[in-house]
Amino acid sequence: MADKTFGANGWTPERIGRLEGKTFVITGANVGAGFQAARTLLSKGAAVVMLNRSAERSAEAVAKLKDEYGAAAQVSFVRMDLADLDTVRSAAASILSDVPQIDALICNAAIAQVPSRRLTKAGHESQLGTNHYGHFLLCGLLFDRIEETAGRIVVVASLGYKMGLRTIQFDDMNWDKNYRANSAYSQSKLAQMMFAYELQDRVARAGKNVEVFVCHPGASATSLISTSGGLMTRFTWWLMSKLPIVQTAERGAYPEVMCATEDGLAQRALYGPTGRMEMVGPVGRGSLEPYAYDKATMVKLWQRSEEETGFHWDV
């Protein structure tokens, strides 16, 4: 049964009050749902710092947002490539130097359906390295600043977590054998979710003042597939985008903005569209498969992630 907490129309940005004095850091915010999330937050008076790979596209995005909300709109960007952990470290250092508070870090950026196996600079399979390891390191580096503000971490997952092995392939996380684009993507999104749920447990145990939420955008018309998917995947997605099972990028941003601003949300949950196949429709609390928070797997993944990134958390 669909979640009716926010009424028949689900959660919408009309629920957000004014956000002056609050700062939101968003990865991958120059296009798609991340850009729309930035728009919504800026419209409420917040400051937004975008962490993006392309300086050129980021400058264009900042210009668009200032055109819409005025030259005084508090929006800026820091260059960061999640696939390059050195740039994650340098971006985090810049944030810690220049951004005195973080009310929410929204882990929005991702790559998907990479057609052939690729490795990051650190030697990780590209989807796992970008979607999970990059964010794992970024969250760790910024965690203390987030806690100082009693802030939030929002992990943007995907229903794709259901479409692969439904666990972590610890004996071949880089897919040296039998690489499959969808299975590797599914594992990367499941890893993100497991990281978030394990972080919830560690935060609670340590008594830290940070909330961690997990959401997904449903099927939204963003550039995610077109920027990293193969030709056939891009064509299939183009056909799907013409059907009513795909919603706009603006609506796809609702779950992450909700998780960054709404009070009273459950943490061991997955928020997103609650309509047809949970791909579109009113935003609320959706279904969550129990293997996404299998404790033994989460702990093993956490330990492996610390080893792979060279970063050891204090929680």
- Of 69, 133, 179, 291, which one is the catalytic site residue? 179
Q: Residue 10 has what DSSP assignment? A: B
Tell me the HSE value of 126 on the side-chain side, using a 13 A CA sphere.
17
Catalytic annotation on 271? Answer: no
Cα dist from 15 to 10, 18, 130, whole Å: 10, 10, 32
Angle of CA points 3, 5, 10, to nearest 5°: 75
Nearest to 24 by CA among 188, 253, 251: 253
| DSSP secondary structure, 98-144, as one string | H-S--SEEEE-------SS--B-TTS-BHHIIIIIIHHHHHHHHHHH
Cβ atoms of 220 and 281 within 8 Å: the answer is: no
Report CA dihedral (46, 50, 56, 57) to the nearest 10 degrees.
Answer: -80
Q: Which two tokens stand for residue 131?
A: 């979607």
> Which residues lie closer than 8 Å to 311 by C-beta, 6 or more apart?
136, 137, 140, 141
The catalytic site residues sit at: 179
